[in-house]
Structure 1
């Protein structure tokens, strides 16, 4: 027996088709395959999304499945904001899908004028968010990095996020001219006294809104592959139960902070700064599910932008 498609379901399908076509870069033929409809049907769905005003520069329509996941995540982890983006079946991390959504979100935060300073994390996903942002006037907003920005591998330099933000917005952007992790606790103390570092670190700590990524404690983590953290140091984190990382602080499966040998060498804002800020994280992908769950259970996040498959895993 077949059942008629309701108006809400049809609109949900139209929005998903439009997202896949315009946001994901899929052809109408590929959209039809993904949704299990004919090519003519896919063409009509995309056309309807345009007629209904769903497609502008960004996507305003709610996708029913994603909206339900957003509500569930907010209820489960006490979030005030959540956005779940449709799966584009990217290999590895869903960087493009998250970048589109994160870029749109950050643009709104800049435009609404409620933040005089925005603290920003690093990583591939955040770089994608900035890359997908349109050029816009920062309206006096300043950006500051929440952690040290120097690495041994210049090609993986995380403060490039700050450079791109300054280019896109014309805003002042500050980064800490120190590594993410010092070689020792003594080195950290010396670096924190260098000219300009205390001022930038204080600006980062007091930024009322922080936009961050989420790292893992896996040996394949970007911090390890980029040479920011040694394999031995990350193994110590894992042995102590570390699962997820937020601005250089590690947390176990239950969301409790893990005291590691890295803690005394971290050149980032402290836990007190994280506990007294509005924090929205962007992250997703199979390899980050445990890490994202860990950070969610820490209670530090006010908001999360993630992908559909990750969201489903987090609430099941």
Structure 2
């Protein structure tokens, strides 16, 4: 616990004092370097034109604008633009890499929370789907309380681990708690014990509710997991040693909501995916924006595969991961 305190303090300080400057830097970068109009800046940042003008003025008054872009977010935005062009992303948010994994996760959490808050701030009812994982839990914890009972949030995967253990801090529950949004969770295992059990679970009302909500969703936010001997699916007991070895042998590059996929971003066949209970496979044919939140060297292969196969069309990551993705060509 002692090692985490300085990192959290660093993130908290940046959260409280630097977020407006960071947004001003983004507005200025889009306007001066990206050569966007103020209307386009406002649209990309999901703010009014007047707010965009004020942010650009703030960037000037704070001397963020010089002969070159003198702010840490500049290289991040350049990396985000490069990833968007290369992989055809609709959204790409790249945050600075911090001094430790925990601190970088905090930065990812802030960016992800801001993204969700933009949706929750809309007056028109919005439906959002969420996955699970450390990044999603951190994002949910970072949300600012807001009254948004007109919205709906729902789970894309089961919320129970083997032996009946609940997933710690199901992101959907936390988002609903902080926003007052209507909450729809999927009280079943991420991966069923048998195909027959999966079929029974998918006949229950909660699963039918998630399937009904999915076509209404505007945005789906998920974690992207690796497939290796330290991956979350294995550590949480969702797959056995033999099943993990089989996934690796079959060329699994990563997983989203329990669904394993190969380096081309295609879902694998086989006994593991045949038992996944969640609805992510159906999400791939919807019009919803699919955003992955993930970072770290061990996640590069999985993130790249998810983008190549268009399993996700948006990404929230850190600069080091972004540069690694770009370096792979």
Calculate the TM-score normalised by the size of structure 1. 0.78
Aligned residue-pair number: 271
Gaps of 5+ in 2: 1-9, 18-57, 65-70
The reply to whether residue 138 of structure 1 matches residue 148 of structure 2 is yes
> 1:221: Cα distance to partner?
1.1
Q: 1:84 to 1:228 in 2, by over 3 A?
A: same
Gaps of 5+ in 1: 1-18, 27-47, 55-60
The answer to whether the 8 Å contact 1:80/1:303 transfers is yes
Aligned to 1:216: 226
Please show how residues 86-235 of structure 1 align to structure 2 within 5 Å.
86-91=96-101, 94-113=104-123, 116-152=126-162, 157=167, 160-204=170-214, 206-235=216-245
Please show how residues 1-316 of structure 1 align to structure 2 within 5 Å.
22-23=13-14, 52=62, 63-91=73-101, 94-113=104-123, 116-152=126-162, 157=167, 160-204=170-214, 206-276=216-286, 277-316=288-327
Q: 1:119 to 1:155 in 2, by over 3 A?
A: same
The answer to whether the 8 Å contact 1:236/1:261 transfers is no
The answer to whether the 8 Å contact 2:119/2:126 transfers is no
Q: Which sits farther off after the overlay, 149-158 or 102-111?
A: 149-158
Q: 1:116 to 1:220 in 2, by over 3 A?
A: same
The answer to whether the 8 Å contact 2:307/2:313 transfers is no
Calculate the TM-score normalised by the size of structure 2. 0.75
SS in 2 for 1:228: coil
The answer to whether the 8 Å contact 1:93/1:285 transfers is no
In structure 1, distance between residues paired with 2:105 and 2:150: 29
SS in 2 for 1:149: coil
The answer to whether the 8 Å contact 1:159/1:175 transfers is no
Per-residue CA deviation, residues 231-276 of structure 1 (Å, 9 max, x unaligned), is 2222211111001112222222232332231121011115232232
The answer to whether the 8 Å contact 2:292/2:314 transfers is yes
The answer to whether the 8 Å contact 2:131/2:156 transfers is yes
Aligned CA RMSD, in angstroms, stands at 2.8
The answer to whether the 8 Å contact 2:220/2:290 transfers is yes
